[in-house]
Structure 1
Amino acid sequence: MSKDPYEALGLTKAATADDIKKAYRKLVRTSHPDLHPDDPGAEERFKVISAAYDILKDPETRARYDAGEIDGLGAERPRRQYYRDFADASDNTYQQGRGFGADADPADIFAEILRNRGRSPGGDSAGRGFSARGPDVSYTLEVPFLDAARGAETRITLPDGQSLAVKIPQGTEDGKTLRLRGKGASGFGGGPAGDALITVLVRPHPVFRRDGDDILLTLPITIDEAILGGKVTAPTIDGPVGMTIPPGASSGQVLRLRGRGIGHVGRKAKGDQKVELRIVTPPDIDAGLRDFFTEWRKTHSFDPRVDLMKGASA
């Protein structure tokens, strides 16, 4: 697969932040090795996708990639200008204007940097050892819909057997990456450990759906509730609540339960729950109900399709 992050996510450089997030979420579900254990190419695809997303999700790293400062894996691109002024005042081996040259071996340049660092003021005569931060490590965690909506704490077991506590913030979206500082791979030469990057996959719910911070629900109602109205009980992510069906309700009509949607830590306002009504007829139509509507049809000419037919022929 291409190491161009845009190509890896199926995007162009004109992609918005929302486009990048949506593309990543879609590809994670089709390429993560835990979700596709029988696909031998899934792991490699997921690595490429994750690396691409790490570059493009951050405006700063995205800008650096677009400017050619880093490559598709986030590594610094070799600078084309001369390398100058590596020596300190006591060592003028490389004075200004006598750089290594554009065709110098990067390994030689790196070694010289380390040697000069060891000779700098405060350094010991033998030179200081190299140290670097450890690499970040990526994991995927599938969580139930309600845990992501309400917030929860769970644990994951790492490949080395270590158990790690992960706090799922209230309102966590599908595809969101959580960063656990210092829980990644060990550093080099005494350097700090990298971070653990946990990509959250939210498991679909059989009843609730999410649209931003709003919760969507389809609520079945009876014929008499639709015609006469009445009070019914509707489920929400925080438990059942009472709501009123207005007389003359229709299938597809949407009612709103304010403040019954997704909340976030530190934010007072919550989303709403949108309740779409769906009229459901009884599984068995008894003689009384059939006779009633038979007589009602004889004396009423209501046709809900009149406007639809006019619009179709316009």
Structure 2
Amino acid sequence: MASDPYKELGVSRGASADEIKKAFRKLAKELHPDTHPDQPATLERFKRVTAAFDILGDAEKRKKFDAGTIDSQGHEQQYRPGGGARPGGFGTGGFSGARYEGGPGGRAAFDDIDLEELFGRFGGGGARPNAGAKSTFSARGQDVRATLDISLEDAIGGTTRRIQFSDGRTLDVTIPKGAADGQVIRLRGQGAPGRGGEAGDALIELKIAVHPVFKIEGADLTMDLPVSVPDAVLGGKVPVPTPDGTVSMTIPKGSNSGAVLRLKGRGAFVGGKRGDLRAKLVVTLPETPDEALTKFAQEWRDRQPYRPWRS
């Protein structure tokens, strides 16, 4: 059994206070008895690590230990004539009698460690039993995380979707109306089961899938709206798809490609407020060439040429 607190924490003798603290945090979480029930060897290692930090985590105790005036348990060294530590000191003793609280001097070394954060998650208010006592810790179950892909229409209108976890469990997730991309829904008690404590939560992150028509820009939606040449020239009413269904929109006379028309309150949600739908007009020729239109365009160009571009 190693008796050098530096070796127990896996740090060098020149390690800084932050390095010692970091090493202790890591080992304490890895070796905590509640995560290794019925493993006496791990329990003993945990006690030795705790006792080692009681020495090295306290600047005054560390100074005395390095000078050889206290042993690895914090006991004052007694020297025999001719030098050498008494039995039980650093030279031959070790951590065999160490308690969770460390050696003499109580918990001074832990004053700047957040024990609530370090041990509290295992339950029991951060209490640490005496050596040899059976662990009575309770541990809250871990939270589980998952991502749920939803459609834009689901996000805007709200719905219920079923999700399956890797352990085979399924949950019905209520998507609230006006849900945002990246929003996290917490389902309390639906995470991993606890050990003598409450279950963790399920954290479901919503991801809005790319839409074939609409693009999300903040609270607004944008889209390209194809319009025919007659509607662009003469004006008229055209059907426009929205996440809430198709509506009718009036195209002004003489509309050009690139003109943007706005449908208020038909967009996405940000902060509980709904934006608008902005439709960019795209004047579109017939897929099949039309002889009459071609003839008209030729005659019109010969009679009244115009150049919309700038030379």
* Superposition TM-score, scaled by structure 1 size: 0.57
Residues 135, 222 of structure 1: alpha-carbon distance in 2 compared, 3 angstrom cutoff:
same
Q: Which residue of 2 aligns with 1:199?
A: 205
Residues 187, 82 of structure 1: alpha-carbon distance in 2 compared, 3 angstrom cutoff:
farther
Match runs of 1:8-27 below 5 Å: none
In structure 2, the gaps of 5 or more residues are 1-21, 30-52, 60-100, 111-117
Are the counterparts in 1 of residues 264 and 276 from structure 2 also a CA contact under 8 Å?
Answer: yes
Q: Which residue of 2 aligns with 1:151?
A: 158
Amino acid at match of 1:137: V
Q: Which residue of 1 aligns with 2:221?
A: 215
Amino acid at match of 1:114: R
Cα RMSD after superposing both structures: 3.6
* Superposition TM-score, scaled by structure 2 size: 0.58
Amino acid at match of 1:294: Q
Deviation, 1:210, is 1.3
Please state if 1:171 is matched with 2:178.
yes
Distance in 1 (alpha carbons) for counterparts of 2:247 and 2:302: 40
Please state if 1:296 is matched with 2:266.
no
Amino acid at match of 1:151: G
Please state if 1:130 is matched with 2:144.
no
Match runs of 1:59-208 below 5 Å: 82=58, 99=107, 101=109, 113-115=127-129, 129-188=136-195, 190-208=196-214
Distance in 2 (alpha carbons) for counterparts of 1:211 and 1:197: 26
Which among 288, 291, 299 is matched to residue 287 of structure 1?
Answer: 291
Deviation, 1:95, is 11
Which among 240, 244, 257 is matched to residue 250 of structure 2?
Answer: 244
Residues 242, 187 of structure 1: alpha-carbon distance in 2 compared, 3 angstrom cutoff:
same
Distance in 2 (alpha carbons) for counterparts of 1:273 and 1:252: 15
Deviation, 1:142, is 1.8
Residues 169, 203 of structure 1: alpha-carbon distance in 2 compared, 3 angstrom cutoff:
same
Are the counterparts in 2 of residues 260 and 270 from structure 1 also a CA contact under 8 Å?
Answer: yes
Identity %: 41
Deviation, 1:143, is 1.8
Match runs of 1:47-58 below 5 Å: none
Please state if 1:272 is matched with 2:272.
no
Distance in 2 (alpha carbons) for counterparts of 1:300 and 1:97: 101
In structure 1, the gaps of 5 or more residues are 1-67, 84-92, 103-108, 119-125, 310-314
Deviation, 1:258, is 0.5
Are the counterparts in 2 of residues 137 and 196 from structure 1 also a CA contact under 8 Å?
Answer: yes
Distance in 2 (alpha carbons) for counterparts of 1:167 and 1:96: 56
SS at match of 1:227: helix
Q: Which residue of 1 aligns with 2:70?
A: none
Are the counterparts in 2 of residues 219 and 234 from structure 1 also a CA contact under 8 Å?
Answer: yes
Residues 114, 208 of structure 1: alpha-carbon distance in 2 compared, 3 angstrom cutoff:
same
SS at match of 2:301: helix
Distance in 2 (alpha carbons) for counterparts of 1:162 and 1:94: 43
Deviation, 1:264, is 7.0
SS at match of 1:153: strand
Are the counterparts in 2 of residues 180 and 195 from structure 1 also a CA contact under 8 Å?
Answer: yes
SS at match of 1:148: helix
Amino acid at match of 2:309: R
SS at match of 2:168: coil
Q: Which residue of 2 aligns with 1:30?
A: none
Deviation, 1:299, is 2.3
Are the counterparts in 2 of residues 150 and 262 from structure 1 also a CA contact under 8 Å?
Answer: no
Residues 224, 134 of structure 1: alpha-carbon distance in 2 compared, 3 angstrom cutoff:
same
Which among 251, 263, 266 is matched to residue 257 of structure 1?
Answer: 263
Q: Which moved more, 1:235-244 or 1:157-166?
A: 157-166
Are the counterparts in 1 of residues 239 and 247 from structure 2 also a CA contact under 8 Å?
Answer: yes
Amino acid at match of 2:213: V
Residues 174, 264 of structure 1: alpha-carbon distance in 2 compared, 3 angstrom cutoff:
closer
Distance in 2 (alpha carbons) for counterparts of 1:223 and 1:289: 10
Distance in 1 (alpha carbons) for counterparts of 2:198 and 2:307: 73
Q: How many residues align?
A: 208
CA shift digits 1:20-57 (9 cap, x unpaired): xxxxxxxxxxxxxxxxxxxxxxxxxxxxxxxxxxxxxx
SS at match of 2:285: coil
